[in-house]
């Protein structure tokens, strides 16, 4: 199974852009990268998913380099409500269809 590594915690201020990088060195050809967000007392929420290059939606952007051994979640102009834990996952048939969560990155946004 592909293992992901991301920073345990990050601090930011309102209005800043936040980039959270995840490494997944043993990602397989058919795997793709997914990010989830979790607020206290809630279940994780799907944010964004990608295979390569760049994906953007109304919430975030996901940058994946050509070797796909890492990915970066970019949150533009964060607000206090973006304070949450962010999880990077590798999904796909090579993972047995499982959705395995690592420790995540606890993002704290300060005023």
**Contact positions toward another protein, by CB under 8 A?**
30, 32, 34, 36, 41-46, 49, 87, 91-93, 96-104
C-alpha dihedral, 68 to 45 to 79 to 75, nearest 10°: 10
HSE-CB at 15 with a 13 A cutoff on CA atoms is 1
Q: Closest distance between another protein and the C-beta of residue 82, in Å?
A: 18
d(CA 81, CA 111): 11
Q: How far is the CB of 18 from another protein (least distance, A)?
A: 21
Nearest to another protein of 16, 63 (CB atom) = 63
Nearer to another protein, 5 or 15 (CB): 5
**Nearest distance from C-beta of residue 34 to another protein, angstroms:** 7
Nearer to another protein, 29 or 81 (CB): 29
């Amino acid at each position: 199974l592909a293992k992901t590594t991301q920073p345990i915690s990050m601090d930011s201020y309102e209005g800043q852009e936040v980039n959270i990088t995840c490494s997944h060195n043993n990602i397989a050809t058919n795997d793709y990268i997914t990010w989830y967000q979790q607020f206290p007392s809630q279940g994780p929420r799907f944010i964004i998913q990608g295979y390569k290059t760049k994906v953007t939606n109304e919430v975030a952007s996901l940058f994946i380099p050509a070797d796909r051994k890492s990915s970066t979640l970019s949150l533009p102009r964060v607000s206090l409500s973006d304070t949450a834990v962010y999880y990077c996952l590798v999904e796909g048939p090579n993972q047995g269809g499982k959705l395995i969560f690592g420790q995540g990155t606890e993002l704290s946004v300060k005023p």
